[in-house]
Amino acid sequence: MAEKRKKLEFQDRLPLGWRLGLYLCLFLAVIVMGIPMLNVLAVSFSESAKSESPGLILFPAPFTIEGYDFIWNHQNLWRPFLITLYVSAAGTLIHVFLSSLAGYVLYHRGLPLRNLLTTFVMLTMTVPGELTLVSTYEMFRQLGLINTYTALIISGAAGGFSVLLMRNYFTGVPASLAEASRIDGASDFMIFRKVFLPLSVPGLMTIGTLQFIGRWNSITNVVTLISDQKMYTLPVVLRIILNEQSSTSGTAYIFSNARMAAVALTALPLVALYFFTQRFFNTGVTLGATKE
């Protein structure tokens, strides 16, 4: 109630002109972002011939799911969809575990060279991923992991942002809880698993959401480590579909409704994930950025 009252007081202090300007900016933002999304959905649910009509389509003409049926079954989009879901989920779980474990290690004030290690983790965030593609490819080639899902899963198994975010979260856990567990005979790993992780769910959900989105949308990393087209993930297949007027097999023309259906199916899991993790995500970013 107090927070709502503060928001209302803040709104009352704003002049009417400012409020109208803010509402106008918000309305324009919704229009700019919403119309392309509505167009994609409308075209995807339209008939093949109607979907090729020039101009902006905002309503299906008429409503049909033939585009989804064609792209999912006849073009076998289910295969890259399941591949992407598998490598994204598995890679995200490993990333969350290793990053939170590294953050727990850096949380301890008695850790030797703690500041130096923290600085090194921060420096890794300044290196663009594109600069490491050659070395990443060479490393996985020597390990014999090129054209394997393992390469996609363990690539980026930990990240500097995730490590520092979890470290900041762990500093907010009362030290008395860890001390009490240690007195009861709990090991450091048990304290990490049963004390720190349950109290840091927003942070875990935040890095998990960001990592899943990044892995789901990854194209550069996939085409670097995978050359077998049967192993391509959904964003790579979608790029091929959108850039080519014919199917990858060369046997059927892909109409606009099928291409837009592929776009919608690619975005659907991310939209569902955001709605599921929204409350954790907002809290995680805010608290993780402000704790010392």
Domains of the chain: 2-66 (no CATH), 72-290 (1.10.3720.10)
Q: Above pLDDT 70, what percent of the chain?
A: 88
pTM of this structure? 0.82
Asked if 208 and 159 count as a contact pair (C-beta separation under 8 A), the reply is: no
The alpha carbon of residue 176 and the mean position of all alpha carbons in its chain are separated, in whole angstroms, by 35
More confident residue, 82 or 283: 82
Q: Which range has the worst mean pLDDT, 97-101, 140-144, 268-272, 280-284?
A: 280-284
Residues 6+ apart with CB under 8 A from 13: none
What pLDDT score was predicted for residue 99?
A: 92
Q: Above pLDDT 90, what percent of the chain?
A: 24
Encoded tokens for 257: 């409704």
What pLDDT score was predicted for residue 152?
A: 92
Mean pLDDT taken over the chain: 83
pLDDT digits (tens, 9 = 90+) for 188-225: 888 888 888 888 888 898 899 999 999 999 999 999 99
Q: Which range has the worst mean pLDDT, 41-45, 46-50, 135-139, 263-267?
A: 46-50
Distance CA 204, CA 162 (A): 9
